[in-house]
Structure 1
Amino acid sequence: MKNINPTKTFAWKKLQNHAKEMKKITIYDLFKIDNNRFKNFSINFENTILFDYSKNIINKKTIFYLLNLAKETNCIDAIHEMFYGKKINITENKAVLHTALRNNNIDFFLRNHQIYNDINKILKKIKNISDEIISGKWKGYTNKKIKNIINIGIGGSHLGPLMITKSLKNYQNKLNLFFLSNIDATQLINIINKIKPEESIFIIASKTFNTLETITNALSIKKWFMKNINININKNIFSKHFIAVTNNINAAVKFGINENNILPLLSEIGGRFSLWSSIGLIISLSIGFDNFYQLLQGAHKMDNHFFYSPIDKNIPIIMALISIWYSNFWNTETEAIIVYNNNMCFLPLYLQQLNMESNGKSIDRNGQKIKYQTSSIIWGDVGTNGQHSFFQMLHQGTKLIPCDFISSAIPNYNNYKNHHVQLIANYIAQTKALAFGNIKEYNCQKNIYYSCYGNKPSNSIFLKKINPYNLGMLISYYEHKIFIQGIILNIFSFDQWGVELGKKITHSVIKKLNENNYKINGNDPSSEGLIDFYKCFN
């Protein structure tokens, strides 16, 4: 990848001047000028995903300058480097291979037979385990069928699978799913109070197998399991109930997990991009392997679109450019994700991690301090709930907040079609209200408190239906959007060294909290004061 400061490009300077022009025009004006605006500023991808970006404060000149910015920062070369397995994760000296996980053509892109052989072996293992547990062939130590699957992980080992399984709840089988991520024992207790050890399988999902929260929870679950099985535990019993997903095979074996129950995780797969890997075992257990494979195929379909489509018809590239347009030329600080499908309630949280952990950086690829904006703050909720809370600020507040509105044309439940009609009406109405307001209806002088001035930008992402294949496309599309943002903004999107600092400090604080003869030593009075307050009661 070339390390280009985007502010030094010709396109960036053009965009700075152009933004001044666009601040004198409204979305209402743009639609009035162009009768074909929707057609000119939307992409219908195979009649499966409609991406409508017409309700943005942009025109053809805006897109022209933004596309030139992508060209000047060598986005196409960077895309090729990722897909062909170059070591673009420079700070960790690794390739970035999440796209390879959903590519079933060995001679395509990566051309590394060993990696594809490893991926296919893992997929086969996911299928075998899923088929055995779902069919009831895999039984617990008392010969009872497995009813409960507990995924123990955090970050990418938790949030991706949680989001997918919740989003595809309509496809879920009879297995009960539980996600244990928080080190707060409240979550642990709530789970073990609902399950029996002989009917449960525990998946310990940790790339390093030393993440503090995950291993602490895993050890507590192991202790609870051994206490409640009422017989002397042996390796055979343990192998019926514990599975590991990790890159650290030795640590998992040391924990007591049978090697046959360990699914490898490639080191080149970052946590927030890992739901397509063996981390997705719980997804396969929830919806069946065939549907899990459809999820992969949908993602691969979007990979092909991203790789092959010209940049002016490329959904992830255009969306990335629009995001940069607002954050760097309109000084917006946040983006809202509004999902009009209740099952997808965790999508905003997932995209928050995907975006902010990837692009929340302040040092560029040249090692220089950045003076422009990188990641926006990502937040959101499900519609229509959000309409009755924070939408007031979106419509009449002082902050400009670009939004993504996501929904599906076909409802989850056909018996309640009137609900879906009202849901979609709200979905469309809110984008219209944000864009155009009501200033044509109200006299601002007489009804100033009623006035919504509009000109609030949004993208509408309309899926044909929420199913595994389409959801795979949607998530892949956001992954690539974030990747392109990182390329243009000249940052490394695939490391997360800021996360590691908090982990390191936590271990030193634990030692102080456990000291019997603890004394305040004067270092960092705030932290020492908090520790002292804790020790007054413990």
Structure 2
Amino acid sequence: MPSASPLSRRPAWRALVAHREALGEVHLKTLFAEQPGRHRAFTRSAAGLTLDLAKQRWSPETRELLLALAREAGVPRAIGRLLDGERVNISEDRPALHTALRLPASASLVVEGEDLVPAVHHTLARMEAMVTKLHAGQWRGATGKPIRDVVNLGVGGSDLGPLMVTHALADFRAEGSQALEVHFASTMDGSQLADYLGRLNPETTLFVLSSKSFTTIDTLSNARTARDWLLARLAGERVGMPAALVMRQHFIGVSASPEKMHDWGIDDAHQLEFWEWVGGRYSLWGAIGLPIALVVGMDHFRELLAGAHAMDRHFREAELADNLPVLLALAGIWNVNFLDIRAHSILPYDGRLEYFAAYLEQLEMESNGKSVTHDGHQLDYATCPVLWGQLGPNAQHAFYQLLHQGTQAVVCDFIAPLRRYDEVADAATRAHLKEQHRLTLANCFAQSRVLMLGDEALADGDAQPSHKRYRGNQPSTTLLLERLTPATLGALIALYEHKVYVQAVIWDINPFDQWGVELGKRIAGETERILAGRRGQEAMDDSSRGLIEAFWAAEAEAP
């Protein structure tokens, strides 16, 4: 067994261990009975969001002990280090400056002698010029026809962030964007891309190639297929367009490697900058967000940035006891490390947030799925839980059975806007849609209540047979947005970003690297060379060798 870690030797940690033992298996219904006004005591608001932590299985004393742990771990200083641009990414020896991407133009952030804000806003201005040109129908393909379809080629943060936000803000389409359709292709097997290439017109299709390193095999394999599709149909003797013209008019590149973009064939004028100090999963706020701006326009994109910046300011300025990211993080620490709840479900009650759970899966598990401290010691405590989720109304008919009567404890985040459909012009339609929204909120509020109380939530109080009984006591968080707007969505995303960081500080891990992902990429590259070269499998394990040989056999039978 590993020796006791510095974290488990901290007085605040030991105090929490003793408190957990004293608290025992106290039921949430007991906590509510003992504390009238619990909702007010455990609810905080900022940046258009309201965070209700009353249904977490903790007491006011628990919260105070967790706040003491945060102070002992140096969370206040760590918040300043992140936002001031210090080198918080220890293993790669660089800052993590995604918050710089949403600073207003009037701000200044000098990092190692350079003010980053002018370069950030220069890139935003270049994005705006591209967006304006495309919305006006003035960006034309090689044959002179205006671009009508834009396909984003990216994976991970270069796909999940833009995909999630464009779907969430579909109600905020900008004037001129109606003439454009934005699509996303991320899978390396080509299935998404094949669908688009089968029905899109190459003369009116533009590809956005988004890759921080410009070496990601998933993205480049799709990009090569797209390039060959364009050149085969638009360049050469049949159509007569020069290949350089086709590449210039049909590709935009977003990367931290301008040289590689240039060598690949992307015109220098159609490149957008993406800095090494921005992690991929934190990158939607900059040039990676070009697809977002193409859908919602730059004004709404800037509102998204402003909402995130409002949460950044709250994160820096609010006392720990009133700080939404800190409180959300501490609830997670309590659940994982003291209640031993290792599963966490994200449950939005708004169809526009369909991809939010998938986005958080990467944000949290790629960031905090770590097992060694900053100085390389093996952890003797748990870190990131398994994160998963789905739209709440759909999930009620899928996996809520496990939540209510299963043997696995799960903590849930319920997310919903308080108001919707105010802007619908027709009064009768508006009334019907508002009724549907009310029904959705009723389900959201009811589910968290049943998770807490179990069958005691039944109004008649009748005893239930064993197969219908559920003891409740499942903790949950409810996050309410005043409305789902670009600004509140920006604040919501930033809230979870900062939650992840606070937990990493307390766990003493680095949330800004992903060496496990990099190892997987390297081994996949080696395996692909064996598959293509048809040799080298003898060095593999027996199972992998058998799988490779099965592929070769299938390949040999193909026509």
Coarse TM-score class (shorter-chain normalised): over 0.9
Please state whether the residue corresponding to 2:166 is helix, strand or coil: helix
Which residue does the alignment assign to 1:487? Answer: 505
Shift of 1:194: 2.3
**Superimposed CA distance per residue, residues 297-330 of structure 1 (whole angstroms, 9 cap, x where no aligned partner):** 0000000000000000000001101101011111
Which residue does the alignment assign to 1:510? Answer: 528
Please state whether the residue corresponding to 1:57 is helix, strand or coil: coil
Distance 2:230 2:151 in 1: 13
1:72 equivalent to 2:72? Answer yes
One-letter code aligned to 1:451: R
Please state whether the residue corresponding to 1:537 is helix, strand or coil: helix
One-letter code aligned to 1:61: E
Which residue does the alignment assign to 1:501? Answer: 519
Which residue does the alignment assign to 1:330? Answer: 339
Distance 1:108 1:251 in 2: 30
Which residue does the alignment assign to 1:222? Answer: 227
**Superimposed CA distance per residue, residues 506-531 of structure 1 (whole angstroms, 9 cap, x where no aligned partner):** 11111111124x37525311111110
Which residue does the alignment assign to 1:32? Answer: 33
Please state whether the residue corresponding to 2:326 is helix, strand or coil: helix
- What does 1:298-309 align with in structure 2 at a 5 Å threshold? 298-309=307-318
Which residue does the alignment assign to 1:61? Answer: 61
Q: Relative to 1, partners in 2 of residues 1:440 and 1:134: Cα closer, same or farther, differing over 3 Å?
A: closer
Q: Percent identity?
A: 33
Range with greater deviation from structure 2 (172-181 or 60-69) = 172-181
| Contact kept? 1:38, 1:52, Cα under 8 Å | yes
Which residue does the alignment assign to 1:139? Answer: 140
Distance 2:397 2:518 in 1: 38
How many matched pairs?
Answer: 533
Shift of 1:238: 2.1
| Contact kept? 2:348, 2:416, Cα under 8 Å | yes
Distance 2:350 2:270 in 1: 36
1:523 equivalent to 2:528? Answer no
Aligned CA-pair RMSD: 1.6
Structure 1: gaps of 5 or more residues: none
One-letter code aligned to 1:504: R
Which residue does the alignment assign to 1:453? Answer: 471
| Contact kept? 1:326, 1:332, Cα under 8 Å | yes
Shift of 1:443: 7.6
Range with greater deviation from structure 2 (411-420 or 202-211) = 411-420
Please state whether the residue corresponding to 2:390 is helix, strand or coil: strand
Q: Select 2:260's aligned residue among 251, 263, 284.
A: 251
Which residue does the alignment assign to 1:266? Answer: 275
Shift of 1:232: 3.4
Which residue does the alignment assign to 1:52? Answer: 52
1:190 equivalent to 2:208? Answer no
Distance 1:339 1:501 in 2: 33
1:206 equivalent to 2:211? Answer yes
Please state whether the residue corresponding to 2:152 is helix, strand or coil: strand
Range with greater deviation from structure 2 (114-123 or 406-415) = 406-415
Please state whether the residue corresponding to 2:86 is helix, strand or coil: coil
Distance 1:520 1:143 in 2: 50
| Contact kept? 1:170, 1:412, Cα under 8 Å | no
Distance 2:246 2:521 in 1: 34
1:464 equivalent to 2:482? Answer yes
Shift of 1:45: 2.2
Range with greater deviation from structure 2 (333-342 or 435-444) = 435-444
| Contact kept? 2:109, 2:117, Cα under 8 Å | no
Q: Relative to 1, partners in 2 of residues 1:519 and 1:57: Cα closer, same or farther, differing over 3 Å?
A: closer
| Contact kept? 1:5, 1:489, Cα under 8 Å | no
Q: Relative to 1, partners in 2 of residues 1:362 and 1:99: Cα closer, same or farther, differing over 3 Å?
A: same
Q: Relative to 1, partners in 2 of residues 1:446 and 1:537: Cα closer, same or farther, differing over 3 Å?
A: closer
Shift of 1:237: 3.3
| Contact kept? 1:158, 1:181, Cα under 8 Å | yes
Which residue does the alignment assign to 2:491? Answer: 473
Distance 1:337 1:147 in 2: 35
Which residue does the alignment assign to 1:363? Answer: 372
One-letter code aligned to 1:99: T
Distance 1:196 1:328 in 2: 54
One-letter code aligned to 1:203: V
Range with greater deviation from structure 2 (79-88 or 15-24) = 15-24
Distance 1:472 1:446 in 2: 44
Shift of 1:107: 4.7
| Contact kept? 2:142, 2:241, Cα under 8 Å | no
Shift of 1:424: 0.7
Q: Relative to 1, partners in 2 of residues 1:152 and 1:412: Cα closer, same or farther, differing over 3 Å?
A: farther
Which residue does the alignment assign to 2:13? Answer: 12
Distance 1:55 1:525 in 2: 50
Distance 2:324 2:211 in 1: 33
| Contact kept? 1:297, 1:472, Cα under 8 Å | yes
Please state whether the residue corresponding to 1:288 is helix, strand or coil: helix
Distance 1:353 1:412 in 2: 31
Which residue does the alignment assign to 2:297? Answer: 288
| Contact kept? 2:109, 2:116, Cα under 8 Å | no
Which residue does the alignment assign to 2:446? Answer: 429
One-letter code aligned to 2:196: I
Shift of 1:449: 1.7
Which residue does the alignment assign to 1:536? Answer: 553
| Contact kept? 1:335, 1:403, Cα under 8 Å | yes
**Superimposed CA distance per residue, residues 330-381 of structure 1 (whole angstroms, 9 cap, x where no aligned partner):** 1111100001011111100100000000000111112100110011110000
Shift of 1:113: 5.1
Which residue does the alignment assign to 2:242? Answer: 233
| Contact kept? 1:43, 1:315, Cα under 8 Å | yes
Distance 1:521 1:49 in 2: 57
Shift of 1:490: 0.3
One-letter code aligned to 1:80: G
One-letter code aligned to 2:299: D
One-letter code aligned to 2:527: V
Structure 2: gaps of 5 or more residues: 425-429
Which residue does the alignment assign to 1:396? Answer: 405
